Structure 1
Amino acid sequence: MLAISDILTPVLAMILVGFILQRTNFLHPSFWPSAEKLTYFLLLPATLIHSLAGKKISDLPWLKMVMTVEGAVIASALLVTLWWLTHRHMEGAAFTSLFQGGVRFNTFVALALVENMFGRDGLMLAALGAGFMIVLINVLCVSVFSLAVGNRGGMDLRRLLNDLLRNPLIVGCVIGVGLNVVGVSLPKAVDGLLALTGKAAFPLGLMAVGAAYRTGSLRMHWQPLAVSSTVQFLCKPLIAWGLATHLGLSGMATGVAVLLFSVPTAPSAYILSRQMGGDHDAMSAIITAQTCMSFITLPLTIWLLR
């Protein structure tokens, strides 16, 4: 429990810092839109390229891990989409927050927990699984924004394809995976530059979440919060466990897969919501609430794994 608290407390603290900075007007209000744009177009893509390029996967059960994590991501996306199709009173912008809240995952928290529980071998396996998840999740989320928010008059496949090709997060994923596939290692200076640039994405993104949070948001957006959290903390871990067990992954690999799907949603969900016209107020509430809830859900998940 102490290890989980040590990992999650800095996340909540950075959200709180952003909330205080915005409420006290310590920074000019124009700072936050600029910070969000910087994170979206530069910092997050740098993080993705650094994370996905140069990973050696030949000695890992990568095929079974990929099948497990991709299957669980697709299943969670189908669950939230089916719920929305049966509750069409929810607007498209609000659905994008529900979707991201039930499909995305906090990479930082997941990798830190895996390293704490399973050591370096588990961390390498988690990084592999997270890399494949990141690509699929970004494609799914951008597609949902394009269809639910950008195409109010109906489906426009040309616009969808354009959104996918121009999205900086997907571009970062494609570059990182492409370098990995062709076996090209980044020069140390370039890799170091990307790592240093990417380190700013996490704290800046969390502070932007806190700056956007409004008192009463949890009560106002209780429905997408409740549905996304049910999928995030209950359905996804069970699906991941079922797939890993069925595919015959080892005990450690199964534990890694379950932990990847037991953490709260990612702070980058808020940045994407702001930039693509989603309900960023609902997204901020979901990120904050899920991070708080994970203080309870993660110890329970780890106890069940053990």
Structure 2
Amino acid sequence: MLIIFESILPIFLLVLLGVALRRSPLLNESLWPGLEQLGYYVLFPSLLFLTLAQADFSGMETGTISLVSILAVLVMSALVFALWPVLARAGVRPAAYTSLFQTATRWNAFIALAVAEKLAGSQGLAIVALVMAVIIIPINLINVGMLVWFSGASRDLRVFVVKIVTNPLIIGCALGLLVNLAQIPIYEPLMVTVDLVARASLGLGLIMVGAGLRISDALRPHSVALVSVLLKLLAFPALMTGIGLAFGIHGQPLVLLALSAGVPTAMNGYVLAKQMGGDAALYAAAATIQTAISFVTIPVVLTAATYVAGG
């Protein structure tokens, strides 16, 4: 496990660098929103497009990996939904529950892709990008649906559909898969340009993860935030691994599936919680606590998955 921890330590050091830079007087506070938009609209979609466009799926269990990923998301969502009556009796408010639901089912693709590249190179990137491509729409549909149901937010279906189809991450995944599967030739200088843009995405993305953490909220953790840690960092990867084994996936693909489920939640759900009547402060606290604890749990998850995968 020490070898795994040391191999991914640079990733967490970049997250810590983001924490330090956000609180440093060296950088103006107005810089961060622009960097977030640059990463969201340009850098990260470029990485997803390039990874999926150039991925070699020939030796990969593409269909099975996709099915396992979707099933794991659906089962995990059903599990968290089944907890609502118990939590409601314990006094958990609907707004707080929606943040628990989001933080238990969303995942931080920046961290997953960075760890995958460190552990398995381009093939690792391809598998995690494939997982992201097939679950990004179901996860958003489910989470937005839960927010609408529990918070009474706007139920305008047209607005919701527009948000989904114009999501730059979804567009990047869709275009990358289209180019790959249809074998569409891309002008080489253009691909080199996209590659140069994509190279900046993971480093900056990890720094932005750290910059987005809200330490003050995490210092006063709500019990619901701690429940989200158990669900997201332990239950979800165990569930993903179990479903993967049931469908005959072994070796490195199984380890990367466990990784995809075992990373902390994504910070973009904070904005959604704020806009749609969820508990944004609780979301921020849960995301921060998960990210801190994942420094330990990700190596544990990867070690356990490697063992059961036959590695």
TM-score, scaled relative to structure 2: 0.78
- Structure-1 separation of matches of 2:288 and 2:207: 11
Residues 17 and 207, structure 2, Cα contact 8 Å, conserved in 1: yes
Structure 1 residue 77 corresponds to structure 2 residue 74 = no
% identical equivalent positions = 24
Structure 1 residue 283, shift from structure 2 partner: 4.9
2:113 and 2:128 in contact (8 A); partners too: no
Native 8 Å contact 1:66 1:132 kept in 2: yes
Gaps of 5+ in 1: none
1:68 aligns with 2:68: yes
| Inter-CA distance 292–214: structure 2 relative to 1 (3 Å threshold) | closer
Structure 1 residue 165: Cα displacement? 1.5
Provide the residue aligned with 1:162 in structure 2.
162
> Which deviates more, 256-265 or 149-158?
149-158
Is it true that 1:108 corresponds to 2:108 in the alignment? no
Q: Give the Å deviation of 1:220.
A: 3.6
Aligned to 2:102, which of 78, 99, 104?
99
Could you say what secondary structure the match of 1:74 adopts? helix
Name whichever of 274-283 and 221-230 sits farther off. Answer: 274-283
Deviations 1:67-102 (A, max 9, x none): 222211222233334445764644558735751453
**Residues in 2 aligned to 1:21 and 1:282: alpha-carbon distance in whole angstroms:** 23
SS at match of 2:155: coil
| 1:148 matches 2:147 | yes
Aligned residue-pair number: 296
The residue that corresponds to 1:6 in the other structure is 6
Q: Does 1:240 align with 2:240?
A: yes
Deviation at 1:259, TM superposition (A): 3.6
Match of 2:267, SS state, is helix
What is residue 267 of structure 2 aligned with on the other side? 270
State how 1:76-225 maps to structure 2 within 5 Å: 76-84=76-84, 87=87, 89-90=92-93, 92=95, 95-96=98-99, 98-105=101-108, 106-112=111-117, 114-115=119-120, 124=123, 126-143=124-141, 144-145=143-144, 148=147, 152-225=152-225
Q: Give the aligned residue type for 1:171.
A: I
Question: Does the 8 A contact of 1:93 with 1:149 survive in 2?
Answer: no
SS in 2 for 1:248: coil
Looking at structure 2, the residues matched to 249 and 299 of structure 1 have their Cα atoms a distance apart, in angstroms, of 20
Moved more, 22-31 or 255-264: 255-264
Q: Is the 8 A contact 1:84 1:95 kept in 2?
A: no
CA deviations 1:101-125 (Å, max 9, x no partner) are: 533143234414642xxxx7xx63x
SS at match of 2:262: coil
Q: Provide Cα deviations, 1:181-238, integer angstroms capped at 9, x if missing partner.
A: 2122434332332232123333333333333434432144444532332222322222
Amino acid at match of 2:98: F
Cα distance in 2 for residues equivalent to 1:27 and 1:81: 42
Which secondary structure does the structure 1 equivalent of 2:27 belong to? coil
Amino acid aligned to 2:188: K
CA 1:158/1:223 → structure 2, altered by over 3 Å: closer, same or farther? farther
Q: Match for 1:107: what amino acid?
A: A
Q: For 1:43 and 1:275, locate their aligned partners in 2 and report how far apart those are by CA, in whole Å.
A: 21
Gaps of 5+ in 2: none
Distance 1:46 1:180 in 2: 14
Distance 1:175 1:183 in 2: 12
With normalisation by structure 1, the TM-score equals 0.79
Equivalent position SS for 2:54: coil
Distance in 2, Cα, partners of 1:4 & 1:173: 28
Structure 1 range deviating more: 143-152 or 177-186:
143-152
SS of match in other structure, 1:200: helix
Contact map agreement 2:40 2:168 (CA 8 A) in 1: yes
Q: For residues 246 and 215 of structure 1, what CA distance do their matches in structure 2 show?
A: 39
Work out the CA distance in 2 between the residues paired with 1:221 and 1:260: 25
* CA shift for structure 1 position 31: 0.9
Matched with 1:260 is 260
